[in-house]
Amino acid sequence: DAGVTQSPTHLIKTRGQQVTLRCSPKSGHDTVSWYQQALGQGPQFIFQYYEEEERQRGNFPDRFSGHQFPNYSSELNVNALLLGDSALYLCASSTLRGPSYEQYFGPGTRLTVT
């Protein structure tokens, strides 16, 4: 079991550009959550995908969008990048079919916007 995987590991973009980050959930998981972690802060919830739909969303602008594919993998897209979007982006997978919401985290993608 490969666990949760994310790609790329690191990414450098320029202000105004668009970026796509990818996440593959742990085997058996059907739910993917995305979090943004700024330097020195705890992660902040962006949104959660289940059954290819956005199930819940945190306080992030529409520039942040996502997608979930039939194989449960997910993408996070950020448009019109700002310097403040520089952060570690974490993906976590879980299943809503079980009795608990234990989430397994990927290694993260570190995005730097210059």
Partner 1 sequence: KNEVEQSPQNLTAQEGEFITINCSYSVGISALHWLQQHPGGGIVSLFMLSSGKKKHGRLIATINIQEKHSSLHITASHPRDSAVYICAVGGSQGNLIFGKGTKLSVKP
> Where do contacts with partner 1 occur on this chain (CB under 8 A)?
31, 33, 35, 37, 40-45, 48, 55-56, 58, 88, 90, 92, 94, 96, 100-108, 110
CB nearer to partner 1: pick between 84 and 99? 99
Residue 55 vs 67, nearer CB to partner 1: 55
Distance in angstroms (rounded) separating the CA atoms of residues 34 and 28: 18
Q: In the complex with partner 1, which residue's Cβ is closer, 20 or 50? A: 50
- Residue at token pair 């879980």: 94
- Closest CB 97 distance from partner 1, rounded Å: 12
**Tokens representing residue 111 in the block:** 């995005």
Using the minimum distance from each CB to partner 1, give the nearer residue, 78 or 111. Answer: 111
Minimum Å gap between C-beta 82 and partner 1 is 21
Minimum gap (Å) between residue 37 Cβ and partner 1: 8
* Rounded Cα distance, 95 and 112, in Å: 31
**Minimum distance between the CB of residue 109 and partner 1, rounded to whole angstroms?**
9
